[in-house]
Structure 1
Amino acid sequence: MNKNFQIFFDRAAGALGIRSLSELAAILNVNRSSITQARKKNSVPANWLLELFRSHGLNPDWLEGGSGPQWLKSGDAFKNDFFPVPKVRARLCAGAGSFETEARIEDYYSFQTQWLQNKGVKDRMVLMDVSGNSMAPEIKDGDTVLIDQSQTDIFAGMVYAVGVEDTIMVKRLEKHPRKLVLLSDNKAYTPIFLADDEMDRVRIIGKVLWICRELR
């Protein structure tokens, strides 16, 4: 994804005839504050590109980097009934030290549309790499996970991508009375307990649906 928010806005505005950030928010069906935050971070969420393709036929590659045709026919990106899921540069922390949180799209990976629809909301799905071994042996360092950002309700024992302040991580979640518990599969890592008064630090990014691993 193009890191320069203004370039993205100029392309979208020129193509769709909009003149303000409020109009862009209305087209994307997001809060005005989401637009302001993206502008401040100088980045654009991956699902915005897919939404503009789905609703208006704008080519994500053109919005992202100016390459390819400006418009796509409705079937062009979905030949053979496959759907492109973006993989972002952000990496989920699983016990490692430093990690990348940038939302820039690195590539798209095609999945069968019906398979994705059986799992959740395909337009809200994203791929991320995992850094660290706190979720081993289920999820290992270097694995890639598929996340559905529409699934944010917490079901005990399920695995989620979670943001805590400026950190994004992958954990199993459990709700205890007046607290949220972030659990690691690797027993060398102690649980993280977050009380009610700390919940404003937490955001549920989405549920982890699938794992991909290269043989080493």
Structure 2
Amino acid sequence: MSTFEEVFERIKLATNTRTQVELAEVLDIRQSSISDAKRRNSVPSDWYMKLFEKFGLNPDWLKKASGPMYLRTEQGYQPLDAPAAGMVLEDPARYGDPDAKSSVVTVHSMHCEVTEQGGGPLKAIGKLSVPQSYSGPSVQVVRMDASSMEPLVRKGAYVGIDTAQKNVVSGELYGVYVPYEGVALKRIFLDAEKARFVLRSENPAHPEQYLPVDKHAERIVGRVAWVLQRF
């Protein structure tokens, strides 16, 4: 059986509603009833009946994402068990997947003041629509404004940096506060013998830089989670 959230997402998809307020109007109930159902993690049975009567929605599809979405159409009671000849029916349940829905995130410039205590606030320079699973409270999006990581990360690319991941895994990509530059992308390696991290660019024209181990907590922004760019 699906969770409340999974059923709730299918209901919103099928009724073209986005909020609890809008859905409450569709179901002719109080918004508090939706909050109560969410807290109990249980969809009331009368919701299914209302959705069938009003939209012809199949309760089994709402509950388990199985079978046709509709049991009744404008032409009457017409359950569809299989696609008609020459026609492919797409499973609408996939549109409830986080990768099928988008979120609008703020894009920041990589330029900022850098001190011994870390970097200053980044300047917002635009918005970007990304898959919902790519966004989150700990993900900060920047636009690459240098060629130091080419050809891996091109100038102009959008980069999602997970600020919750600051523990260094050697060889991985991180956003780092660099004096006179702001935020830079670097591949980080531990040099334990000299108690420092080696910061490397993909572009061989850019020399290695170094970060004392005891400064990494203030200077590392986070680990690169994703890159969106044109080839």
Q: Computing the radius of gyration over CA atoms, which structure comes out larger, 1 or 2?
A: 2
